[in-house]
Structure 1
Amino acid sequence: MLSLQEISDRLEIQDLMVRYSHAVDTQQWDVLDTVFTPDAHIDYSAMGGSKGDLAATKKFLADVMPNFPAFQHLIANSSITVDGDTATGRTMCHNPMVMPGEDGQQSLMLCGLWYLDTFVRVDGEWRIKERVEEKGYMYIAPPTPGMG
């Protein structure tokens, strides 16, 4: 049976991951300062992205995400293990992204991945200390007439 503390910890961690998704999808890069620890290591390289600290990650996202007319991060199926003030998690992410094309035509890129996270409690609040993406799939659908 889960203790009330572990239930609370799991809900707080899930809220943290939703805050991450909303920050990226709304391009509010400074919100990521409330998601990650200042010394976080973030590795998006499995899906072709950056690998580095929080500042480098924010710059990468700010440079790359505006190139896509639309995108979403849908997270699900989190497996979270809490151990005091640390925790680990494996969370599925489905990330459709609209890609601009020639002559106004757009394509849809479907990204399926797992977030492998290490969490720490800092001053009573959960933060991501390490995030590594694990690739599931990436598929680019051909342009469809009328899309866009």
Structure 2
Amino acid sequence: MDDRETADRLQIAEVLARYAYAIDSGDWDLLDEVFTPDAMIDYQTAGGIRGTRAEAKIWLADVLANWPGRLHLIGATRIAFEAGEARVSASFADTLAPSRELVSADSKGLIQGGGWYHHRMLRTADGWRSRELVEEQSWRTIQ
């Protein structure tokens, strides 16, 4: 692995971290630093929408308001560079809680799940950005 590939991998890891932070904090405009303006985002396996970056931001803000306690962990990441793009698959685990306050583990509305985020990323003038995200929901529990 040369220095350029190492730098690319670190920058892509930062994009994944930025995505998790945007979702968990509700900083929806930070998603502009994750996705290209024409990105297609697909949350259908989790019961969500498939839409543009702008549509996804509106949908996320509306739906996730019901779970103010949020934590996404990004784990095993596979990056394959091909023809100026990067195919990125990263495992995730998430918890959505009905409150940011202490709640019992059996509280109604607590959701936990996991799966894979599959990105198609491009190097842009502003750094790596995702042009496509497909969430592959592997499991989900709901209280």
What is the TM-score normalised by the length of structure 2? 0.90
Q: For residue 47 of structure 2, what is the amino acid of its counterpart?
A: G
Structure 2 SS opposite 1:15: helix
**Aligned equivalents of 1:88 and 1:140: distance in 2?**
31
Q: For residue 123 of structure 1, what is the amino acid of its counterpart?
A: A
Cα RMSD (Å) of the superposition? 1.4
Distance apart, 1:107 and its partner CA:
4.0
1:53 and 2:52 aligned: yes
In structure 2, the residue matched to 1:145 is none
Taking only the aligned residue pairs, the percentage that are identical comes to 37
- Structure 1 residues 124, 62: CA separation in 2 closer, same or farther (over 3 Å shift)? closer
**Aligned equivalents of 1:40 and 1:69: distance in 2?**
26
Structure 1 SS opposite 2:65: helix
> Once superposed, which parts of structure 1, at least 4 consecutive aligned residues long, lie more than 2 Å away?
105-108
Please give the per-residue CA displacement for 1:14-54, whole angstroms capped at 9, x wherever unaligned. Answer: 00010011011110111111110000000000011111100
**Aligned equivalents of 1:7 and 1:69: distance in 2?**
35
In structure 2, the residue matched to 1:41 is 40
**Aligned equivalents of 2:58 and 2:126: distance in 1?**
28
Unaligned runs of 5+ in 1: 142-148
Q: Any residues of structure 2 matched to 1:70-89 within 5 Å, and which? A: 70-83=69-82, 85-89=84-88
In structure 1, the residue matched to 2:89 is 90
**Aligned equivalents of 2:45 and 2:98: distance in 1?**
19
Unaligned runs of 5+ in 2: 100-106
